[in-house]
Chain A
Amino acid sequence: MFGLEKRDTLLLGVVVVLTLFAPFILNPFPADSGLAQFNAGYPDLMQRFVIFGIFAIGFNILFGLTGYLSFGHAAFLGVGSYSAVWMFKLLSYNVVPALVLAVIMAGLFSALIGFISLRRSGIYFSILTLAFAQMSFNLAYSVLTPITNGETGLQIYTSDPQYLQSVDAPSFPNLFGAAMNSSTTLFFGGWTFTFSVGYYFCAIFLILAFYLAIRIFRSPFGMMLRAVKSNQQRMNYTGLNTRPYTLAAFVISGMYAGLAGGLLAAMDPLAGAERMQWTASGEVVLMTILGGAGTLIGPVLGAGFIKYFENIFAKINDNVLHGWFAFMPDGIEDAMVAIIHPFVGKGWHLTLGLLFMLVVIFLPGGLVEGGQRLGRVFRRKDKNAGSVEADAAQRRSEAAE
C-alpha cells in the first residue's frame, strides 16, 4: 500500500494508530486517582512528543543512514521557529505560510552549513557543525537582536502589522480559523480525554514525516546513503561523488528540523535563542540513539521516551517521594528519598546524562535493539527447550537398547 512493503505498511499503521489514539493511550489512569501524575495525555506534552518525534526522524535520516554525527541540528529548529514567528508577525496568524517559510528557511540555512561542513567527515564534521550551531546561537542571542529580539525572545505584539489578518480570525496561530489551542474534552467515567486541534495538526505532520522517511529509507537514494556509512572511501574509489547525496540528506534533515521548529512556534508563538543551544542538539542526538539510530521507529520512540520522562521526573518532588516510600520504616524511607532526590525534579539532567552514558555503553542500538535482543532470548529459550527434549528422547532410546 502507498508503495510500501507489507512490513513497512504495518509499521506505518502502528504509528498512525498510536498517534491518532494517543489521547486515549496516554491517559490510562482516571483523573482523580493517585497515578494521574503519570498520565501524559494532555495537549502540551503530546504536542511535544510528536514535534520532537519529527525532529528526531529527520535527524535519523542524516545520522542513522549516513553516519554523519551533527551536533548542530538545533540551529535549524531555531531558524524554523524564528521564521514562523516572523510570518505570524507580518502576515497573519494562519500557520500555512509560517510552516512553508520555516521549512524553506531551514532548508536554505542547512544547505549553506551543509555545503561547508560536509567537506570534512568524522570528528571534523561534528566539530564544524558544533561551531556553526554555537555561532548561530551567539548570532540569535545578541548580534542579530533586531531580527531575533535577543535575550527576550521573539514574540508577537499588538503593534505588529499582520497585513493579512482578518478581523474575525482568532488571535492565535490557526489553520483557516481552527485555533491551535482550542480543544474539546470528553469525560468518560473517571477519565478525562482532551482532543486538541494543535495536537492532531502536528500528528498529521508526524505521520507524513514518517511515511516520507520510510520511502527515503527504502529508496535507491537511501541505499546510497547507507553505502556512504559503511564505506565512503570505496564509494569514492568507484568514481562516485558522494557529496551530493550527503548534502541532500543533510538538507532533508534540516528541513525536518525546520518543520519541527515551525510547529513549535505554531503551538506557542514564541521563539527563543535557547532552542539553538548545542545542548539542545545533544538532546536530539540522544533521542535518536536511545530509540535506535538507523531504524525507522527508533527516533519516534526515543523522542517520546525522553520527553515523557523529562516531564514526569521534573514533577516529582520530595513530598511525592515520601508518599511512595511511606510504607517503609521511617529511617529507610528518609534514606530512599535522599538517594533518589538528586535524580528527580531539578536533577533531571543528571538522570539524562547517566541514561545517555548507559545507552551508549550497553545498548548502542537503542531501545529497538534492546527489544530485538529480548525477543531473541525468548525465542532461543523455546528452541533450547525443544533440543533438550530431543536429547532426552534420544538418550532414553539409547538406554532402552
Chain B
Amino acid sequence: MDAILLQILNGLDKGSAYALIALGLTLIFGTLGVVNFAHGALFMIGAFCSVTLQRILTLSVETIDETKKDFLGNPLKVKTPYVEQWFGPETGQAIIDWSVPLAILFAIPVMLLIGFIMERGLIKHFYKRPHADQILVTFGLAIVLQEVVKYFYGANPIPTPAPQAFVGSFDFAPLLGLDTSLAYPYWRLVYFGFSTLIIAAVFAFLQFTTFGMVVRAGMADRETVGLLGIDIDRRFTIMFGIAAAVAGLAGVMYAPINSPNYHMGMDFLVLSFVVVVVGGMGSLPGAVLAGFLLGILESLASMNEIKSIIYGIDQIIIYVVAIVILLVRPRGLMGRRGVMEE
C-alpha cells in the first residue's frame, strides 16, 4: 500500500511537468491553431535559464588574500563571487544558494520575449499554411534551438542544485499513520506546489480577467471577436508568450530534479504530445488531467511488482494507454466537439 502511495507521489512531479508543457501546447493550439513542435525546446530553454542565472551569480572576481599563504609562502589568490563582494558573504552566499527560485524572475521576461519573437517572426506566417508545414517548421526550429544550446553549454548535463533549505526528504508516514517510512524529497513537493500554482494562475487569468474572457471568446470564434473590433491577433500573440513562459517556468524549476541537458526538451515533447492527445486537443482541463494521470501511471508501472508481471511495461505504458484511448475515445478524455475532428 505504501509502495503504491510512494509511486503516486513520485508520479506527481513528472506529471506536473507534463501537465505544464501540455497546458502551453493546448493554449497555443486553442488560440492560434498551430501545433508547436518547438514547445519542448522552450521547456529546455527554461531549464537553461536556471543554469545561466547560476553562472551569472557565481561570476567571480579574483583577489589576493594576504592573510592566507600557500605552501611556498606566496599569497593565495581567492575567487569571490561579485554578489558576495557587494552584499557581504552571508547574503551573497544565500543569493547563490537560491539561484533556482530566483531564476523564475529571470526566466519570465526571457521566455515572454522568446515567445513574442517566435510568434511574430516565424509562426505568424504559418497560420494559413497546412498543418504539415507548421509541424515541419517548428520541428526545424526545435532542432536549431537545441543545437544552439548544445553549442553554448556543451552536451553534458549540468547539475543545478536546489537551495540548501530544500535538501532532504519529507516523511509522509507519520502523517498518514503508517509504520514504514514514506520519504519524499522536499524539492519535488515544491515543484508540485509550484506547478499547481501556475496551473491555477493560468486558469484564473483566463476565467476572471477581461483579457482572459476575450481570449476565450477568440478561441471559440475568432472571426466574430475580430468583427467586434477587438484586435484578437495581438491578444493571441500575448497568449503565445504566456504559453512559452509556462513551459519555461516548468523547465526552470525542473532543473534540480534532472540536470538540464540539451535534449531534455525533445524527450518531454513526445510525451507531452501524447498527453495533449489523450486529454483532448484544445481542452485545457483535459491537458492538465491527462498530464497528471499519465505521470502517475508511468511511475506506477515502474514498480517492481508490476514489472515482474509484464517485463518493461514502464517503458511503453504511456503509448499503449494513448493508443487505446484514441481508438476508444478518438476525441480524447475531455476533447470538445469540432476541434480537429477530421
Question: Which residues of A are at the interface with B, using a C-beta cutoff of 8 A?
Answer: 67, 69, 116, 119-124, 126-128, 130-132, 134-135, 138-139, 142-144, 232-233, 278-279, 282, 285, 289, 342, 347, 349-350, 352-357, 360-361, 364
A-B contact pairs, 9 of them (CB 8 A): A127-B274, A131-B273, A132-B319, A138-B316, A143-B311, A144-B312, A353-B144, A354-B140, A357-B140
Complex contacts, A354 vs chain B, CB 8 Å: 140, 144
Q: Is the CB of A120 within 8 A of B136?
A: no
Chain A residue at minimal CB-CB distance from B273:
A127
A396 CA to B110 CA, complexed, in Å: 66
Q: Is the CB of A138 within 8 A of B141?
A: no
Q: Is the CB of A143 within 8 A of B315?
A: yes
Q: Tell me if B340 is interfacial: C-beta within 8 Å of chain A.
A: yes
Chain B residue at minimal CB-CB distance from A134:
B270
A160 CA to B326 CA, complexed, in Å: 42
A290 CA to B135 CA, complexed, in Å: 15
Which of B52-60, B125-133, B168-176 has 4 or more CB atoms under 8 Å from chain A? B125-133
Q: Is the CB of B125 within 8 A of A361?
A: yes
Q: Is the CB of A128 within 8 A of B323?
A: yes
* Known contacts A127-B273, A233-B342, A360-B133, A282 near B315 by CB under 8 Å: no
A347 CA to B146 CA, complexed, in Å: 11
User: Which parts of B276-307 form the interface with A (CB within 8 Å)?
Assistant: 276-277, 281
Chain A residue at minimal CB-CB distance from B35:
A123
Question: Which residues of B are at the interface with A, using a C-beta cutoff of 8 A?
Answer: 35, 122, 125, 129-133, 135-137, 139-144, 146-148, 151, 266, 270, 273-274, 276-277, 281, 311-312, 315-316, 319-320, 322-323, 326-327, 330, 340, 342
Question: How would you classify the secondary structure of chain A's contact residues: helix, strand, loop or mixed?
Answer: helix
A142 CA to B273 CA, complexed, in Å: 22
Q: Is the CB of A350 within 8 A of B144?
A: yes
* Known contacts A143-B315, A278-B270, A357-B140, A342 near B151 by CB under 8 Å: yes
Q: Is the CB of A121 within 8 A of B316?
A: no
A179 CA to B172 CA, complexed, in Å: 65
Chain A residue at minimal CB-CB distance from B29:
A123
Q: Is the CB of A120 within 8 A of B139?
A: no
A356 CA to B266 CA, complexed, in Å: 17
Question: How would you classify the secondary structure of chain B's contact residues: helix, strand, loop or mixed?
Answer: helix
Q: Quick one: which of A116, A127, A130 contacts B327, CB cutoff 8 A?
A: A116
A295 CA to B143 CA, complexed, in Å: 26
Complex contacts, A123 vs chain B, CB 8 Å: 35, 131, 135, 281, 340
Complex contacts, A143 vs chain B, CB 8 Å: 311-312, 315-316
Q: Is the CB of A139 within 8 A of B312?
A: yes
Q: Is the CB of A360 within 8 A of B147?
A: no
A350 CA to B151 CA, complexed, in Å: 9
Known: A139-B316, A142-B315, A361-B125. 7 other contacts (CB 8 A): A119-B327, A123-B340, A127-B277, A128-B277, A278-B270, A285-B139, A356-B137
Complex contacts, B129 vs chain A, CB 8 Å: 364
Chain A residue at minimal CB-CB distance from B311:
A143
* Known contacts A131-B322, A132-B319, A356 near B270 by CB under 8 Å: no
What's the minimum C-beta distance from B92 to chain A, rounded to whole angstroms?
Answer: 34
Complex contacts, A131 vs chain B, CB 8 Å: 270, 273-274, 277, 319, 322-323
What's the minimum C-beta distance from B125 to chain A, rounded to whole angstroms?
Answer: 7
Q: Is the CB of A360 within 8 A of B277?
A: no
Complex contacts, A349 vs chain B, CB 8 Å: 143, 146-147
Query: Which of B132, B135, B144 gathers most chain A CB within 10 Å?
Result: B132
A347 CA to B330 CA, complexed, in Å: 41
Q: Is the CB of B273 within 8 A of A130?
A: yes
Q: Is the CB of A289 within 8 A of B136?
A: yes
Q: Is the CB of B323 within 8 A of A116?
A: yes
5 closest cross-chain pairs (CB), A and B: A143-B312, A353-B143, A356-B140, A350-B147, A357-B140
Q: Is the CB of B143 within 8 A of A360?
A: no
Chain B residue at minimal CB-CB distance from A356:
B140
Complex contacts, B135 vs chain A, CB 8 Å: 69, 123, 126
Chain B residue at minimal CB-CB distance from A63:
B132
Complex contacts, B35 vs chain A, CB 8 Å: 123
Complex contacts, B147 vs chain A, CB 8 Å: 347, 349-350, 353
Complex contacts, B143 vs chain A, CB 8 Å: 282, 349-350, 352-353, 356
A130 CA to B21 CA, complexed, in Å: 17
Complex contacts, A116 vs chain B, CB 8 Å: 323, 327
Q: Is the CB of B151 within 8 A of A138?
A: no
* Known contacts A349-B147, A354-B140, A124 near B326 by CB under 8 Å: yes
Q: Is the CB of B319 within 8 A of A357?
A: no
What's the minimum C-beta distance from A348 to chain B, rounded to whole angstroms?
Answer: 9
Complex contacts, B136 vs chain A, CB 8 Å: 69, 285, 289, 356, 360
Q: Quick one: which of A128, A138, A232, A353 contacts B140, CB cutoff 8 A?
A: A353
Complex contacts, B277 vs chain A, CB 8 Å: 124, 127-128, 131
Q: Quick one: which of A69, A124, A134, A144 contacts B132, CB cutoff 8 A?
A: A69
Complex contacts, B151 vs chain A, CB 8 Å: 342, 347, 350
What's the minimum C-beta distance from A341 to chain B, rounded to whole angstroms?
Answer: 9
Complex contacts, A357 vs chain B, CB 8 Å: 122, 137, 140-141, 144
Q: Is the CB of B330 within 8 A of A120?
A: yes
What's the minimum C-beta distance from A227 to chain B, rounded to whole angstroms?
Answer: 16
Chain A residue at minimal CB-CB distance from B276:
A127
* Known contacts A67-B132, A128-B326, A361 near B340 by CB under 8 Å: no
A349 CA to B144 CA, complexed, in Å: 8
What's the minimum C-beta distance from B317 to chain A, rounded to whole angstroms?
Answer: 10
* Known contacts A120-B326, A233-B342, A354-B144, A135 near B319 by CB under 8 Å: yes
Complex contacts, A289 vs chain B, CB 8 Å: 136
Complex contacts, A278 vs chain B, CB 8 Å: 270
What's the minimum C-beta distance from B339 to chain A, rounded to whole angstroms?
Answer: 11
Chain B residue at minimal CB-CB distance from A67:
B132
Complex contacts, A120 vs chain B, CB 8 Å: 326, 330
Complex contacts, B130 vs chain A, CB 8 Å: 67
Chain B residue at minimal CB-CB distance from A126:
B135
A133 CA to B28 CA, complexed, in Å: 25
A381 CA to B131 CA, complexed, in Å: 35
Complex contacts, A350 vs chain B, CB 8 Å: 143-144, 147-148, 151
Chain B residue at minimal CB-CB distance from A68:
B132
A253 CA to B69 CA, complexed, in Å: 72
What's the minimum C-beta distance from A125 to chain B, rounded to whole angstroms?
Answer: 10
Complex contacts, A342 vs chain B, CB 8 Å: 151
Q: Quick one: which of B132, B133, B315 contacts A138, CB cutoff 8 A?
A: B315
What's the minimum C-beta distance from A364 to chain B, rounded to whole angstroms?
Answer: 6
Complex contacts, B141 vs chain A, CB 8 Å: 353, 357
Chain B residue at minimal CB-CB distance from A279:
B266
What's the minimum C-beta distance from A110 to chain B, rounded to whole angstroms?
Answer: 15
